Amino acid sequence: MHKLNIGIVGATGYTGVELLRLLARHPNANVVAVTSRGEAGVHIADYFPNLRGVYDLVFQNPENAQLEQCDVVFFATPHGVAMRDAPALLAAGVKVIDLSADFRIKDIPTWEKWYGLPFTAADALAEAVYGLCELNREQIRNARLVANAGCYPTCVSLPLIPLLKNQALLPDMPIIADCKSGVSGAGRKAAVNTLFCEASDNFKAYGVAGHRHLPEIRQTINELQTGIADKLIFVPHLTPMIRGMLATTYVHLRDGVNPHDLLTEFYADSPFVDIMPIGSSPETRSVRGANICRIAVQRAPEFDGNVWILLSVQDNLVKGAAGQAVQNMNVMFELAETTGLDDVAVLP
Amino acid sequence: MHKLNIGIVGATGYTGVELLRLLARHPNANVVAVTSRGEAGVHIADYFPNLRGVYDLVFQNPENAQLEQCDVVFFATPHGVAMRDAPALLAAGVKVIDLSADFRIKDIPTWEKWYGLPFTAADALAEAVYGLCELNREQIRNARLVANAGCYPTCVSLPLIPLLKNQALLPDMPIIADCKSGVSGAGRKAAVNTLFCEASDNFKAYGVAGHRHLPEIRQTINELQTGIADKLIFVPHLTPMIRGMLATTYVHLRDGVNPHDLLTEFYADSPFVDIMPIGSSPETRSVRGANICRIAVQRAPEFDGNVWILLSVQDNLVKGAAGQAVQNMNVMFELAETTGLDDVAVLP
Amino acid sequence: MHKLNIGIVGATGYTGVELLRLLARHPNANVVAVTSRGEAGVHIADYFPNLRGVYDLVFQNPENAQLEQCDVVFFATPHGVAMRDAPALLAAGVKVIDLSADFRIKDIPTWEKWYGLPFTAADALAEAVYGLCELNREQIRNARLVANAGCYPTCVSLPLIPLLKNQALLPDMPIIADCKSGVSGAGRKAAVNTLFCEASDNFKAYGVAGHRHLPEIRQTINELQTGIADKLIFVPHLTPMIRGMLATTYVHLRDGVNPHDLLTEFYADSPFVDIMPIGSSPETRSVRGANICRIAVQRAPEFDGNVWILLSVQDNLVKGAAGQAVQNMNVMFELAETTGLDDVAVLP
Amino acid sequence: MHKLNIGIVGATGYTGVELLRLLARHPNANVVAVTSRGEAGVHIADYFPNLRGVYDLVFQNPENAQLEQCDVVFFATPHGVAMRDAPALLAAGVKVIDLSADFRIKDIPTWEKWYGLPFTAADALAEAVYGLCELNREQIRNARLVANAGCYPTCVSLPLIPLLKNQALLPDMPIIADCKSGVSGAGRKAAVNTLFCEASDNFKAYGVAGHRHLPEIRQTINELQTGIADKLIFVPHLTPMIRGMLATTYVHLRDGVNPHDLLTEFYADSPFVDIMPIGSSPETRSVRGANICRIAVQRAPEFDGNVWILLSVQDNLVKGAAGQAVQNMNVMFELAETTGLDDVAVLP
């Protein structure tokens, strides 16, 4: 069976270890290089104890990793790195899947405003495809550079896309996405505010004044139904659990529109989106460790107007990051979209 | 110092043990009877290990507890019990504080619809005062029967009250209260869905199709600004923490209205409501174990319209239940409102 | 590829859903029947939300499930059920793997003392093989009835077995196994003491006066080194996590014995036991969801005597229950021992 | 009522905020200065959100804090700071309570070996009293410098002290203290290994090769029963909870010794040690937030020999740190030992 030679840049974070977990059992995956400046020389099994006996790889400095000989390189890095290093890999004929935000926003001034860096890879950006298979499957099939969709944007956009494509939202009414994420979304860096004793048994909103995923979601909305993107209000919350994300999205729909029908039809051929029966309430644990987004819709009770509550859950590290990246890889290399992504969610 | 003789009916749940914790250090409190049919004869210290050495009381059957000799009786019971037993106590000159929902809803058909029982205490209901001191302090001062406000209604209503009193909400726009509660809100009954292995590391919405606290919040809204109560959408979520509740409430305000000014002015003399600086983000742990509701407001970023996000947190067992009940008792008996309620929140 | 027709009796608990998760991806597994009297008629995906889209099975009453047509039946039931129902299946030529304790104890009076039931399946017991592959691989290969080892006995016995086989323990000194388990070990029944609000943010010992796994561990010890089984002291503790078990076992060894050498040699060909470098400290998360027991040993520091601390971790639902059962099935049916058990532990 | 002017050096950690929580309601406490170089100028309510409205204090640089005008200064600092700064305060007539380890070990070479610093305060050490009231109440009454006992040493020593004072332990047998601590014991510093995603849903041993509390416990043992301190084996474990510590200590006692009698008699007049009935199993939540150590003893079941299991629980931040410090302060200043320490444990 054809094996893809794979490199992972910046594999010391949670998206990195999750990529390694998923690729370990992918029949077409052959991880040949994992890079980290800080941990160069360290065996990944000494760094991630779940990988003992699974891989025999040592973190390398990127310049020694011969990434240009890979078929595909994943960037699991802070923003700015892929922007700097991806173009050379593309020039060497390597396909790139960027899990960071560098290539997600098509409007450069918007990106620079929200990420606080000058953007330096306009040519790469021009060919980058937004990595949400359910929206862009065909473009991803032919892409050399995929900008893996963000965790919140994936969870919020999937229930909205079929409604937007049908111009089903009332233009003058707000779209309110009240989102809740597990702590792993904050990454693996030493910080006080994500210590166990700070984040456990606690709940709070954050980034209310403006979160970088707001323009990313608005870009997707604007592509599908014009004049409504600015009506999005997005408030993320930090939840005391490791993995999992739930979006509660409140939408005002045109009279007669039933979102369950639109979602069911639109996702009929998408293996990783589960449209649940009307009245269901998805739980984050039902997708823990699995590359699935489960969606349920309920009409606002005792409310005069066609207002619906869209409930969507995913594992922020899988469908919201590493699993989605593998899904994109499968599509880019003409493998079955589900290859290596058949894990059943871990419950309890 | 004058001591109040206190009885607690149904003291085997979480609101019961929290009442006992708070009253143990209340200088005017003398708990003389705790009742439970199921646990009659059991020493409360054998039942609640945190009370070892604090009380020397045994659970009694209600009929043996001589509750009619108390100054005040708290009901920490399922709905239906206070409705049945409170009238006789009132007739005996005992003041009653009901932590259940029996006397919260003034419209009997509405109560019967949501609680599924025939309502049998219309006379008591007629004199019952809704037990939210910040709204009804004067009526509570003279009340014989107080219906302690519910946990969600307290957390959602406190940030809304000053806005409603000023008719500040746009009448045609929704009020969306997206609420998150710790698991203790579900009580202490044996049930699968609140087992550690079901509720831990998991997040979900529940009661989306209709929660009993919806009519309670709408009743409060309707008293203050007419024609808008039906615009409330209320979605509760279950959060993997023991205590704590956060409400994220999205409101559309008349042009020029600044909710921070209205909240600061209205709560100037309320010791248990903390209006934080604009741009703050309250955390549930900042009130863990304390009788405080902390509120912050932020204007929706990059949104065309005067939409505000109201963030309010409380400990659902304290300001949302037992602490509020003690606060009501203090007002009913002309004690300083803060008596026995000066615990500092436990952090971490 | 040859498929085994599989039945699961009592599939509504945590070991049941874990069996279903693991078998879903086992290339030789074809689950044809899941039984539950209480849930008969309910689709398993409505009962276990992680199984939506994975299985199309409905719980059946056992008598309708035609279990006698299966190749193998797993019992994931309370004790007493397999003792009653397994003999008829054996007579029908079905192989049985019992995850309950019915066939673990060879001495019937001992079993009856600890489990409080009359034992009624002496013939089946006579042929039952204790289902710990690392100890009894050959007997399991030819067994018709396997008594899957208990969770604590697996975690405690694996580090001891190589020492006992070498008569390495001092006969007059205690063997102290201080064990810590996640809450899922208590099962999925509605009970107050395993509610989230009782078990979370809490730690306690339980069963100190005598736990049913004590005689099971002692039986294994006694088979390997005589005269020392009674020296075992076993204290289990309840830990606020869903999955995972750690045993800290303190042993006094003959002079000159190095347990690391004995363990490394003994488990050289056991794919699911990981002997870590001396001085390591295994974490339960390093095996979450995976069929692995990781073991590290450290000599007691600044102590006069050859006392060693044996640290062993496993996922109590996988290597401690369902994964071990699948491992036993693989050996019983001459499949590669690792078939379908290659999941990488989920971290974070 | 006489008020003590109090300073807290290094108040940005968990012991610091816990001291502030407890002293806020202490009738004789007047906190006049809190110091932190890193946070100088920051209001403590902006740093610790639970203290909003409780204190109006700003962190100061120590040199500006006029600590020499305090009646008592608490050091809640890393080791090395109190050793450097306490002598000058003592010379100025200020009493000092050190929550760090600087003055706990009387043998200077031992301290230097375990803490890796040259010890520079021999004179202060000579007068320092080990701050465990249950052991040294009289010496503390007259002390100017108290070395607050460590968390593990408090939890392990309290059940052992009455046995050691009675020479009840067999000299040739091990004393095994298997200890479990909540994560707050690791402090509030930014670090990867105590992140929520690393420490949650995980359990592990640490410091097996040698923990700094080993010599501290051995010093206490050696003072009470000679020739047995070296028999102590101490293994700490990290538990996924914020607060709480449980020690499971295995001891071999002389024939006929019943530890329950010895403990009950010895602690008859100690208000913060709760000896539970034989056969009890203390839970950490029963002391959450309270200055109590609860102890139960059980004889090892089915074991030939007088081996007992001592179970002790405390809140590591209260009886294991800040509460014990306030208890020491009360004794040093001839206040009732229980002053300001009457909080009831928070359950659930």
Q: Which pLDDT belongs to residue D2?
A: 87
Would B329 be classed as within a structural domain?
A: no
**Are A199 and D194 within 8 A, CB to CB?**
no
CA separation for the pair A179, A234 (Å, rounded): 7
CA separation for the pair C104, C106 (Å, rounded): 6
Label residues D209-241 b or e (16+ Cβ within 10 Å = b): eebbbbbbbbbbbbbbbeebbebbbbbbbbbbb
Hey, which residues 5-24 in chain A have their CB within 8 Å of chain D?
A: 14
Q: What percent of chain B has pLDDT over 90?
A: 99
CA separation for the pair B70, B6 (Å, rounded): 5
Q: Which pLDDT belongs to residue C2?
A: 87
Please state the ipTM of this predicted complex.
0.97
Q: How confident is the model at residue B2 (pLDDT cuts 50, 70, 90)?
A: confident
**Are C285 and A50 within 8 A, CB to CB?**
yes
Residues of A in contact with B202 (CB under 8 A): 241, 244, 283-285
Torsion of CA B63, B65, B70, B72, to 10 degrees: -70
Beta partners for residue D235, in sequence order: D178
The residue annotated as part of the active site, out of A151, A155, A179, A293, is A151
Would D102 be classed as within a structural domain?
A: yes
Q: How many CB atoms lie within 10 A of CB B336?
A: 11
Residue type, C223: E
**A131 has a pLDDT exceeding 70:** yes
Element (H, E) at D114: helix D108-115
Would A331 be classed as within a structural domain?
A: no
Interface probe with D: pick from C179, C208, C260, C299, most Cβ of D within 10 Å:
C208
Residues of C in contact with D214 (CB under 8 A): 301-302
pLDDT tens column, A33-77: 999 999 999 999 999 999 999 999 999 999 999 999 999 999 999
Judgement on whether residues C166 and C270 belong to the same structural domain of the protein: yes
Smallest CA–CA separation between A52 and chain C, in Å? 8
Q: How confident is the model at residue A172 (pLDDT cuts 50, 70, 90)?
A: very high
Judgement on whether residues A280 and A242 belong to the same structural domain of the protein: yes
- Whose structure tokens read 């120590």? D62
* C319 in reach of chain A (CB within 8 A): no
CA separation for the pair A166, A224 (Å, rounded): 8
- Whose structure tokens read 């830990």? C239
Would B295 be classed as within a structural domain?
A: yes
Q: Enumerate neighbours of C (3 or more CB pairs within 8 A).
A: A, B, D
What mean pLDDT comes out for the span D205-212? Answer: 96
Q: How confident is the model at residue B210 (pLDDT cuts 50, 70, 90)?
A: very high
**Are C298 and D208 within 8 A, CB to CB?**
yes
Judgement on whether residues C157 and C84 belong to the same structural domain of the protein: no
Residues of D in contact with A284 (CB under 8 A): none
Would D73 be classed as within a structural domain?
A: yes
- What's C256's DSSP letter? T
Label residues C75-103 b or e (16+ Cβ within 10 Å = b): bbbebbbbbebbbebbeeebbbbbbbbbb
CA separation for the pair D250, D3 (Å, rounded): 44
Higher pLDDT pick, C2 / A283: A283
Judgement on whether residues A113 and A231 belong to the same structural domain of the protein: no
The average confidence (pLDDT) of chain B is 97
Q: What does the DSSP assignment read for B104-171?
A: T-S-HHHHHHHH-S----HHHHHH-EEE-HHHHHHHHHT-SEEEEPPHHHHHHHHHHHHHHHTT-B-T
The average confidence (pLDDT) of chain D is 97
Q: Which pLDDT belongs to residue A87?
A: 98
Q: What percent of chain D has pLDDT over 90?
A: 99
Judgement on whether residues A189 and A296 belong to the same structural domain of the protein: yes
Judgement on whether residues C185 and C71 belong to the same structural domain of the protein: no
Total domains in chain C come to: 2
Judgement on whether residues D182 and D311 belong to the same structural domain of the protein: yes
- The SS3 assignment for D284 reads helix
**Are C204 and D176 within 8 A, CB to CB?**
no
- What's C150's DSSP letter? P
What mean pLDDT comes out for the span D34-45? Answer: 96
- Counting every residue written for chain A, the total comes to 348
Half-sphere exposure at residue D202, Cβ-oriented, CA atoms within 13 angstroms: 28
- What's A148's DSSP letter? E
Hey, which residues 32-91 in chain C have their CB within 8 Å of chain A?
A: 48-54
**Are B196 and C201 within 8 A, CB to CB?**
no
Q: Looking at the partner chain, which of B194, B201, B240 has a beta carbon nearest the beta carbon of C195?
A: B194
CA separation for the pair B348, A201 (Å, rounded): 9
Half-sphere exposure at residue D6, Cβ-oriented, CA atoms within 13 angstroms: 27
Domain range for A286: 152-316
Cis peptide before B282 (omega within 30 of 0): no
**Nearest CA-CA partner of A294 in A96, A154, A197, A117:** A154
Contacting residues for D185 by C-beta, under 8 A, at least 6 apart: D151, D245, D316, D320
**Are C180 and D180 within 8 A, CB to CB?**
yes
Residues of D in contact with A183 (CB under 8 A): 195-197, 200
Judgement on whether residues A74 and A168 belong to the same structural domain of the protein: no
- Whose structure tokens read 């009624």? C120
Beta partners for residue A180, in sequence order: A237, A246
pLDDT tens column, C98-119: 999 999 999 999 999 999 999 9
Q: Which pLDDT belongs to residue A2?
A: 87
- Whose structure tokens read 């109190």? D82
pLDDT tens column, A296-305: 999 999 998 9
Smallest CA–CA separation between C202 and chain B, in Å? 11
CA separation for the pair D322, C317 (Å, rounded): 39
Residues of B in contact with A241 (CB under 8 A): 200-203, 240
CA separation for the pair D294, D49 (Å, rounded): 30
Smallest CA–CA separation between B239 and chain D, in Å? 15
Residue type, A152: Y
Give me C41's structure tokens: 């008629």
Alpha carbon separation from A261 to A256, A257, A276, C12, D321 (Å, rounded) = 11, 9, 11, 32, 60
Half-sphere exposure at residue B228, Cβ-oriented, CA atoms within 13 angstroms: 24
Hey, which residues 196-225 in chain C have their CB within 8 Å of chain B?
A: 196-201
Strands in A293-299's sheet, in edge-to-edge order, are A204-205, A232-238, A175-181, A245-252, A307-314, A293-299, A273-275
Q: Looking at the partner chain, which of B231, B282, B303 has a beta carbon nearest the beta carbon of A204?
A: B282
Alpha carbon separation from C257 to B6, B303, C135 (Å, rounded) = 67, 72, 21
Smallest CA–CA separation between C334 and chain D, in Å? 35
- The SS3 assignment for C261 reads helix
What mean pLDDT comes out for the span D222-227? Answer: 96
Smallest CA–CA separation between A307 and chain D, in Å? 36
Would A252 be classed as within a structural domain?
A: yes
Residues of A in contact with C194 (CB under 8 A): none
Q: What is the CATH number of the domain that holds C157?
A: 3.30.360.10
The average confidence (pLDDT) of chain A is 97
Query: ∠ at Cα A319 (A317, A321), nearest 5°?
Result: 45
Q: What is the CATH number of the domain that holds B63?
A: 3.40.50.720
Is residue A310 a contact partner of residue A294, using CB atoms and an 8 Å limit? no
**D104 has a pLDDT exceeding 90:** yes
Interface probe with A: pick from B203, B213, B217, B285, most Cβ of A within 10 Å:
B203
What mean pLDDT comes out for the span C196-217? Answer: 97
**Are A195 and D190 within 8 A, CB to CB?**
yes
Residue type, C346: V
Q: Looking at the partner chain, which of A204, A246, A309 has a beta carbon nearest the beta carbon of B208?
A: A309
pLDDT tens column, A231-262: 999 999 999 999 999 999 999 999 999 999 99
Torsion of CA A231, A236, A237, A241, to 10 degrees: 130
**Are C196 and B199 within 8 A, CB to CB?**
yes
What mean pLDDT comes out for the span D103-108? Answer: 98
Q: How confident is the model at residue C1 (pLDDT cuts 50, 70, 90)?
A: low
Would D348 be classed as within a structural domain?
A: no
pLDDT tens column, B268-295: 999 999 999 998 999 999 999 999 999 9
CA separation for the pair A164, A166 (Å, rounded): 5
**Nearest CA-CA partner of A286 in A259, A318, A263:** A318
- What's C27's DSSP letter? T
Judgement on whether residues A122 and A259 belong to the same structural domain of the protein: no
Secondary structure E strands in D183-260:
204-205, 232-238, 245-252
Judgement on whether residues B162 and B47 belong to the same structural domain of the protein: no
Angle at which helices D108-115 and D213-224 cross, to 10°:
160
CA separation for the pair D35, B338 (Å, rounded): 30
Would D332 be classed as within a structural domain?
A: no
pLDDT tens column, A180-196: 999 999 999 999 999 99
**C228 has a pLDDT exceeding 80:** yes
Contacting residues for A219 by C-beta, under 8 A, at least 6 apart: A104, A105, A106, A107, A229
Smallest CA–CA separation between D10 and chain B, in Å? 17
Give me B123's structure tokens: 């006379």
**B142 has a pLDDT exceeding 70:** yes
**Are D242 and A184 within 8 A, CB to CB?**
no
Q: Which pLDDT belongs to residue B106?
A: 98
* B244 in reach of chain A (CB within 8 A): yes
Q: How confident is the model at residue C313 (pLDDT cuts 50, 70, 90)?
A: very high
Q: How confident is the model at residue D194 (pLDDT cuts 50, 70, 90)?
A: very high
Closest residue, chain D, to B277 (C-alpha): D46
Judgement on whether residues D123 and D156 belong to the same structural domain of the protein: no
Angle at which helices C259-266 and C151-165 cross, to 10°:
110
Q: How confident is the model at residue B1 (pLDDT cuts 50, 70, 90)?
A: low
**Are D50 and B282 within 8 A, CB to CB?**
no
Closest residue, chain C, to D240 (C-alpha): C240
Q: Looking at the partner chain, which of B183, B192, B198 has a beta carbon nearest the beta carbon of C197?
A: B183
- Largest Cα–Cα distance in chain A? 64
pLDDT tens column, D228-267: 999 999 999 999 999 999 999 999 999 999 999 999 999 9
CA separation for the pair C293, C273 (Å, rounded): 5
Q: Looking at the partner chain, which of B191, B201, B242 has a beta carbon nearest the beta carbon of C190?
A: B191
Judgement on whether residues A235 and A157 belong to the same structural domain of the protein: yes
Q: How far is CA C111 from the centre of its chain?
A: 17
Q: Enumerate neighbours of B (3 or more CB pairs within 8 A).
A: A, C, D
Q: Identify the sign of the CA torsion D217, D221, D226, D231.
A: negative
Q: Which pLDDT belongs to residue B9?
A: 97
CA separation for the pair C290, C344 (Å, rounded): 6
Q: How confident is the model at residue D1 (pLDDT cuts 50, 70, 90)?
A: low
Residues of D in contact with C243 (CB under 8 A): 201
Residues of A in contact with C195 (CB under 8 A): none
CA separation for the pair A146, A170 (Å, rounded): 32
